[in-house]
Amino acid sequence: MQHFKTLSAYLNYLELPPPEHPMLSIFIAIADDFLPCPKKSSPPITNDCYTISFKKNVQGKLNYGRTQYDFTNGALFFISPGQVLQWENSLVYEQKGFSISFHKDFIKGSELNQQIKNYGFFSYSVNEALHLSPKEEKQMETIVENIDIEYKNNQDQFSKEIIISQLATLLKYANRFYERQFLNRKELSIDLLDKLNFHLSAYLESGQLQENGIPSIEQIATELSVSQRYLSDTLKKETGKTTTEHLHLYLIDEAKNILLQPNKSISEVAYELGFEYPPYFSRLFKKKEGISPTAFRKKYNSN
């Protein structure tokens, strides 16, 4: 897989204009012009840059892999260093919006370098983009215009600090808007929870728990066609519990049913539910239920 260590090499590969700063690039098209279009397709690639893009398609739709995204109403999405990118057969289109790319070393030593690691949307998939309201769109455009002014001016000793400060503000607003989007997506959250429970039920009934063990959160997210971070954040916002917590609750609920069968030992119950080590199962059960599996069995079998 090809990896690009510099911003210039990455933009050159995309067939985009070279940056005016070796570690920072800004393309902005809010008024009458259009954003430059990158090459139409690419095998998997990685790079050492962050990218914040707001794309608003005027003509056509954009294809990433097998999924089609409509940017007519605008979508803001984020790419972090090392993230695998691939697209193919993109339509020729005219787009408005903006795209900011900066090398990870550009913010090294700044507060933003630590803050940016806490923004979950940098680990989300493209299809989990942030959709802005017209008011939110205007707020973001104003910040980007300020960054662009500083970017195009003769840069001095204050320029980098000012740009990084504006980037930090941009990301804080993005975080606020993501919170709003999560709150407004109750149906999707419930749908994800239903899909999670259905997947776990099918996994158990097929015997995969015993054969392959407890599925990882990465495996579950892949089956549900979302990223790990997005799945956990969405469930947390709606239910107050992460994916791992839902997985544990599901296993404990199943354990309760099996424990009521007196012919099975605690170890057999643990192995049936995919636990490699029965003591871990017993500790998790006690943590969630307040009593050990043995005590639970005695309590309910005596009733």
252: domain CATH number is 1.10.10.60
Please indicate whether residue 27 or residue 257 has the higher confidence score (pLDDT).
Answer: 27
Distance CA 234, CA 62 (A): 25
Q: Could you give the number of structural domains in the chain?
A: 2
pLDDT of residue 239: 79
Residue that is last in its domain, among 136, 164, 184: 184
Please indicate whether residue 31 or residue 235 has the higher confidence score (pLDDT).
Answer: 235
Average pLDDT on 33-40 reads 82
Examine the domain organization and report whether 191 and 166 are in the same domain: no
* Strand bridging mode 62-64 / 24-29: unpaired
What's the longest Cα–Cα distance across the chain? 82
Q: Tell me the pLDDT tens digit for each residue of 199-208.
A: 888 888 888 8
Which pTM was predicted?
Answer: 0.66
Domain region containing 33: 2-184
Examine the domain organization and report whether 193 and 133 are in the same domain: no
Examine the domain organization and report whether 100 and 26 are in the same domain: yes
Examine the domain organization and report whether 264 and 168 are in the same domain: no
pLDDT of residue 270: 92
Examine the domain organization and report whether 162 and 192 are in the same domain: no
Examine the domain organization and report whether 236 and 103 are in the same domain: no
pLDDT of residue 236: 83
Examine the domain organization and report whether 151 and 9 are in the same domain: yes
Confidence of residue 139 (pLDDT cuts 50, 70, 90): very high
Examine the domain organization and report whether 126 and 272 are in the same domain: no
Examine the domain organization and report whether 50 and 172 are in the same domain: yes
pLDDT of residue 266: 93
Residue that is last in its domain, among 184, 211, 233: 184
Confidence of residue 67 (pLDDT cuts 50, 70, 90): very low
Examine the domain organization and report whether 41 and 177 are in the same domain: yes
pLDDT of residue 210: 82
Examine the domain organization and report whether 165 and 225 are in the same domain: no
CATH of residue 70: 2.60.120
Average pLDDT on 138-161 reads 90
Q: Tell me the pLDDT tens digit for each residue of 227-285.
A: 888 888 888 877 788 899 999 999 998 898 888 877 889 999 999 899 989 999 999 99
Looking at residue 249, its amino acid is L
Residue that is last in its domain, among 153, 184, 215: 184
Which range, of 22-31, 36-45, 71-80, 105-114, averages the lowest pLDDT? 71-80
Examine the domain organization and report whether 82 and 229 are in the same domain: no
pLDDT of residue 65: 45
